[in-house]
């Protein structure tokens, strides 16, 4: 508005035959201008994020509310009630919160499967038609409420909220971190029992013949490996080498691996244990052990340790009871653990090389990042719903938002942009559109208001006309 006002003054000075123009009644002029102004609302997220939304194919879900909820989850992740306030304040849209709740019911009952199919089809296209390696992990999402139900149950919380009811979220992603499928489980379900249900549904739904699954040691169990083998899956699982049999442990230590070296140990006709060694990992392991020991010694001196501390969790395994009450450090056990510094194990039934096994397992960081983005950027929790199908619909919205996040990230990288996804989203939140009527006509004109170079640069990057 200031720019237009200044341009008007310059126009009058240049063409009005006057050397100076006095605005004695400036208030009246401004009031007249605002009468002509029809609206001033945020459009940046729709222009950029909405374009990515359509590129993926989510636009075939002909429901404007679905679009709004996914885009808003990326730029303003709040409760459904605050979402209605955001839509009204920044987009001049009146949406009743009860309408959102009714839509969540529809999403769960009619659209959830279609949404996952769209996401899968787009990921398949991005990966040039081939998905044969998938990555699986779980996380826990707790609820502030103390009241649980059949789904929201207290269990082992990865966030340390053991007293709160929670659910377990299992996520399947592809190479590159693109989300493929997800499932919600009861909060007290053993995470190892979530793997096969997700894999089976995914494999059956998309008629996949061969699938290699990569997962961390938390999902490793003899039963899981046997079932995976029986059902024709190949796998790469993190191994707990310190819990192997004495024979296998002696063979591991006898390998004498140097930095960057690795070796296979045959476990059975189909299963191999791969062990690798890294100097960097060795330094990290030694540092963590020393830090854990220092913490225990400090607690002993302060008298804060009791019998309840004697368990095998973390570095408590270095504690032992002497007599009935005296607690001390088991220095022999501490020293023996140093033999395992730098060693890492992988269990596999694939025919992949040592380097391929290690490389593919290394991609698990992408699923850890997916959970981190979901919990921080997308704020998947706190979850304010208590009805199961609405909880699942909320997670579906977050799943779609993460898919859009990943595609925006891919396109920014492809376009060699200097911005991260977070930076690009911040810029979109500064791009507004102004609509107005002139004195000569009742026609409403709209213009995107550009005030900063990065706004123009971002719109040009995605070939969006803001003329």
Q: What is the pLDDT of residues 23-59, one digit of tens each?
A: 455 555 444 554 555 577 899 999 999 999 999 999 9
Residues forming beta bridges with residue 236, ordered by sequence position? 214, 348
Per-residue confidence band for 447, with pLDDT thresholds at 50, 70 and 90 = confident
Q: How far apart are CA 169 and CA 141, in angstroms?
A: 7
The H or E element that residue 16 is part of is none
Each residue of 319-363: pLDDT tens digit?
Answer: 665 655 567 777 888 888 899 999 999 999 999 999 999 999 999
* Residues 6+ positions from 119 with CB-CB distance below 8 Å: 56, 178, 179, 180, 399, 400, 403
Residue 406 shares a structural domain with residue 442: no
Q: Give how far the C-alpha of residue 128 lies from the chain's centroid of Cα atoms, to the nearest Å.
A: 23
Tally the domains of the chain: 3
Which two three-digit tokens encode residue 369? 């990042």
- What pLDDT was estimated at residue 317? 65
Residue 190 lies in a domain: yes
Residue 122 lies in a domain: yes
pTM of the full predicted structure?
0.82
Residue 250 shares a structural domain with residue 212: yes
- What pLDDT was estimated at residue 332? 85
Beta strands in 98-193 (DSSP E): 133-142, 166-174, 179-186
Residue 233 shares a structural domain with residue 369: yes
Which two three-digit tokens encode residue 453? 């170079």
Residues forming beta bridges with residue 182, ordered by sequence position? 171
Residue 392 shares a structural domain with residue 287: no
* Residues 6+ positions from 409 with CB-CB distance below 8 Å: 420, 421
Using the Cα atoms of residue 333, residue 339, residue 344 and residue 345 in order, give the sign of their dihedral.
negative
Q: How far apart are CA 395 and CA 388, in angstroms?
A: 11
Q: How far apart are CA 50 and CA 52, in angstroms?
A: 5
Residue 419 lies in a domain: yes
Which two three-digit tokens encode residue 23? 């605005």
Residue-number span of the structural domain to which 27 is assigned: 2-95+414-461
Q: How far apart are CA 181 and CA 199, in angstroms?
A: 9
Residue 216 shares a structural domain with residue 173: yes
Each residue of 96-114: pLDDT tens digit?
Answer: 999 999 999 999 999 999 9
Residue 75 shares a structural domain with residue 123: no
Each residue of 359-408: pLDDT tens digit?
Answer: 999 999 999 999 999 988 888 988 888 889 999 999 999 999 999 999 99
Please choose, from the candidates 124, 113, 134, 245, the residue with its C-alpha nearest in 3D space to the C-alpha of residue 183.
113
Cα separations in angstroms, 130 against 122, 348, 405: 12, 21, 21
Residue 253: is it exposed, middle or buried by C-beta count within 10 angstroms (0-12/13-18/19+)?
middle
Residue 73 shares a structural domain with residue 175: no
Which two three-digit tokens encode residue 333? 């056990």
Is a pLDDT exceeding 50 seen at residue 18?
A: no
Length of the chain: 467
Which two three-digit tokens encode residue 141? 């999402």
* Exposure letters 135-173 (e unless 16+ CB within 10 A, then b): bbbbbbbbbeeeebeebbbbbebeeeeeebbbbbbbbbb
The H or E element that residue 87 is part of is helix 80-91
Mean pLDDT of the chain: 87
Contact 393, 107 (CB under 8 A): yes
Residue 178 shares a structural domain with residue 311: no
Q: How far apart are CA 57 and CA 36, in angstroms?
A: 38
- What pLDDT was estimated at residue 466? 79
Residue 334 shares a structural domain with residue 442: no
Residue 107 shares a structural domain with residue 170: yes
Q: Could you give the strand order of the β-sheet that contains 272-277, starting from the edge strand earlier in sequence?
A: 179-186, 166-174, 133-142, 212-215, 234-239, 343-348, 272-277, 262-266
Each residue of 237-252: pLDDT tens digit?
Answer: 999 999 999 999 999 9
Residue 422 lies in a domain: yes
Residue 120 shares a structural domain with residue 224: yes
- What pLDDT was estimated at residue 12? 64
Residue 466 lies in a domain: no
Q: How far apart are CA 332 and CA 338, in angstroms?
A: 10
The H or E element that residue 64 is part of is helix 64-75
> How would you classify the pairing of strands 444-449 and 166-174?
unpaired
Residue 214 shares a structural domain with residue 108: yes
The H or E element that residue 225 is part of is helix 222-230
């Amino acid at each position: 508005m200031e720019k237009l006002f200044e341009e008007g003054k310059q126009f009058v000075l240049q063409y009005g035959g006057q050397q100076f123009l006095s605005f004695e009644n400036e208030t009246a002029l401004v009031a007249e201008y605002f009468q002509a102004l029809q609206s001033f609302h945020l459009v940046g997220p729709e222009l950029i994020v909405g374009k990515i939304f359509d590129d993926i194919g989510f636009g075939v879900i002909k429901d404007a509310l679905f679009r709004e909820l996914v885009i808003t989850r990326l730029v303003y992740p709040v409760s459904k009630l605050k979402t209605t306030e955001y839509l009204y304040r920044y987009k001049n849209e009146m949406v009743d919160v009860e309408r959102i709740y009714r839509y969540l019911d529809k999403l769960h009952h009619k659209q959830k499967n279609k949404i996952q199919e769209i996401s899968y089809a787009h990921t398949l296209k991005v990966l040039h038609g081939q998905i044969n390696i998938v990555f699986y992990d779980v996380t826990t999402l707790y609820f502030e409420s103390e009241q649980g139900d059949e789904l929201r149950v207290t269990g082992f919380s990865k966030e340390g909220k053991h007293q709160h009811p929670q659910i377990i979220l299992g996520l399947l992603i592809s190479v590159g971190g693109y989300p493929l499928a997800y499932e919600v489980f009861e909060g007290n379900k053993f995470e190892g029992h979530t793997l096969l249900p997700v894999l089976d549904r995914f494999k059956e739904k998309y008629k996949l013949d061969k699938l290699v699954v990569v997962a961390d040691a938390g999902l490793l169990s003899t039963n899981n490996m046997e079932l995976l083998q029986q059902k024709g899956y190949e796998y790469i699982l993190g191994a707990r080498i310190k819990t192997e049999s004495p024979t296998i442990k002696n063979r591991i230590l006898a390998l004498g691996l140097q930095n960057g070296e690795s070796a296979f140990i045959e476990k059975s006709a189909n299963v191999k244990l791969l062990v690798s060694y890294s100097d960097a990992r060795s330094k990290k392991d030694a540092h963590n052990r020393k830090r854990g020991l220092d913490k225990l010694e400090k607690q002993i001196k302060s008298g804060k340790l009791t019998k309840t501390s004697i368990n095998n969790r973390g570095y408590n395994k270095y504690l032992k009871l002497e007599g009935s009450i005296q607690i001390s450090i088991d220095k022999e056990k501490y020293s023996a653990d140093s033999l395992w510094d730098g060693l890492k194990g992988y269990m596999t039934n694939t025919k992949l090389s040592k380097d391929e096994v290690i490389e593919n397992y290394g991609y698990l960081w992408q699923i850890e990042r997916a959970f981190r983005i979901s919990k921080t950027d997308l704020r998947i929790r706190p979850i304010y719903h208590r009805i199961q199908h609405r909880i699942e619909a909320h997670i579906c919205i977050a799943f779609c938002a993460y898919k859009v996040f990943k595609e925006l990230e891919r396109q920014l990288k492809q376009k060699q942009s200097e911005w991260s996804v977070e930076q690009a989203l911040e810029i979109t939140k500064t791009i507004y559109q102004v609509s107005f009527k002139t004195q000569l006509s009742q026609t409403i004109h709209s213009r995107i208001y550009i005030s900063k170079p990065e706004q123009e640069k971002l719109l040009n990057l995605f070939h969006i006309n803001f003329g």
